[in-house]
Amino acid sequence: MQDLPLFLEERKQELQRKRKEIEGKRNSRKIGPVERNGDGMELGFRATEVHRNSSENAMMEKILISIDAGLRAMEQGSYHLCVGCGKEIEAERMKTVFFPQRCAGCAKNAT
Ligand SMILES: [Zn+2]
């Protein structure tokens, strides 16, 4: 891939920005103490809120983990290399996938 160092530098900044954004969101969504005087409907509403937030948090957690993995791979200089065959991952694939890990061929074979 041409301009790989430049691409990696830009991607690194992108990942760090994204990471901060997600962490900010996660902190602002912390659920406050449940009021004790709420009636049944209020409690039901709160239960679904908590449920929705926790699945969103789980999703954000997953994204954070892959961002961290990507940043770590960058430090080790292996971000652009396929974990399956060790070859350079296709430029197009790196542009569209956050942390591709495998080249298109290996991704197809992996279950
Ligand atoms: Zn591969």
pLDDT at residue 37, as a whole number:
56
Angle ∠(21,88,10) on CA atoms, nearest 5: 30
CA 102 to mean position of chain CA atoms: 16
In a domain? residue 64 = yes
Interval between CA 67 and ligand 1 midpoint (Å): 20
Closest to 57 in 3D by CA, of 33, 17, 27, 21:
27
Helix (H, G, I), strand (E, B) or coil at 109: helix
Residue-range definition of the domain harbouring residue 76: 4-29+37-80
The residue ranges of DSSP E strands in 17-101, in sequence order, are none
Interval between CA 13 and ligand 1 midpoint (Å): 25
Dist CA 74 CA 80 (whole Å): 8
pLDDT at 84 over 80: yes
Q: Which of 14-23, 26-35, 66-75, 84-93 has the lowest mean pLDDT?
A: 26-35
In a domain? residue 90 = no
Interval between CA 110 and ligand 1 midpoint (Å): 10
In a domain? residue 76 = yes
Interval between CA 15 and ligand 1 midpoint (Å): 23
Interval between CA 102 and ligand 1 midpoint (Å): 5
How many independent structural domains does the chain possess? 1
